[in-house]
Amino acid sequence: MALKDYIRSRQELVDSYLKEYFSNEFLPARLYESVTYSLFAGGKRIRPVLAIASYEACGGKAEDILPQASAIELIHTYSLIHDDLPAMDDDAMRRGKPTNHKVFGEAIAILAGDALLTEAFVMFTEGETFPPGAVKKAIRILADAAGPRGMVGGQAEDILSERKAPDPKTVHFIHTHKTGALICASVKIAPVLAGLPCEVVDGIGTYGEKIGLAFQIVDDILDVTGDAGALGKETGADVEKGKMTYPAIYGIERSRAAANELAKEALSAIDFMTDAADPLRWIAEYLVQRTM
């Protein structure tokens, strides 16, 4: 119950911030509608919640990191819009609703993704509570995670590897880049913005790397075993498209064991932190136990 209450309260903070930020509409109206359609389509806000939990674990206040945490959700939403496009994964449903391009057309969907990505870095610079130079360092971490050495590189390899024989090295690369990099950055920016020493940044970064990979492994498992209604998207797509996944290589049970082991390693990485880091510990356990 403590975890549910924590996640709900932080989700509400993020949603309130995003709604206020986007209450200032822009033109053309069709682009604004496309951007807000996907942004407010019911996401769990896991990445911004992680950023807030990490910042609170470092002694900060949730309200002070809301712009930076919310900016991560913009980047995540952009990636989903583009991933769903016919040229990418060609998905028709996302979060129980038609995907962006099904509603607004491919051209506007692409531009909505572009708008979210670029607006994220405008949003990230809001607020003046951080030490000198901290925002610049945090932006570099986030940009690296979202760019060709992170999420974009992982998505490219994911596409290039379709229909190929499953390979452990390749699937590890895809998962740690396409999904893991942005999750890792979500927690890693917090100690940087708090001005904490490198050992804290590294410890929390290791936590992020472990849960980022575990999160995607569980996603792979749910694509095989999950309920489409609960997930809000079609299941079985990975097999149909010949995607490289953990279950394709290791099977369900070994994949589940790998996710659980990664969660344990994540918890070990933040052993040095106080009880203020308990939400991070709860979230690590939740991410490997989730069913949606």
Domains by residue range for the chain, with CATH: 2-287 (1.10.600.10)
Q: Which residues fall within 8 angstroms of residue 163, CB to CB, at 6 or more apart?
A: 242
Is there a contact between 7 and 15 (Cβ–Cβ < 8 Å)? no
Report mean pLDDT in 10-residue bins for the chain, 292 residues.
90 98 97 98 95 98 98 98 95 93 98 98 93 96 98 95 90 96 98 97 98 95 74 63 87 95 98 97 92 69
For residue 64 the two structure tokens come to 């002070």
Cα–Cα distances (Å) from 19 to 37, 237, 263, in that order, read 12, 32, 33
Do the beta carbons of residue 53 and residue 284 sit within 8 Å? no
Separation of alpha carbons 258 and 288, rounded Å: 10
3-state secondary structure string, 194-211? CCCCHHHHHHHHHHHHHH
The whole-angstrom separation of Cα 6 and Cα 145 is 26
pTM: 0.94
Smallest CA-to-CA distance from 38 within 6, 8, 73, 12 is with 73
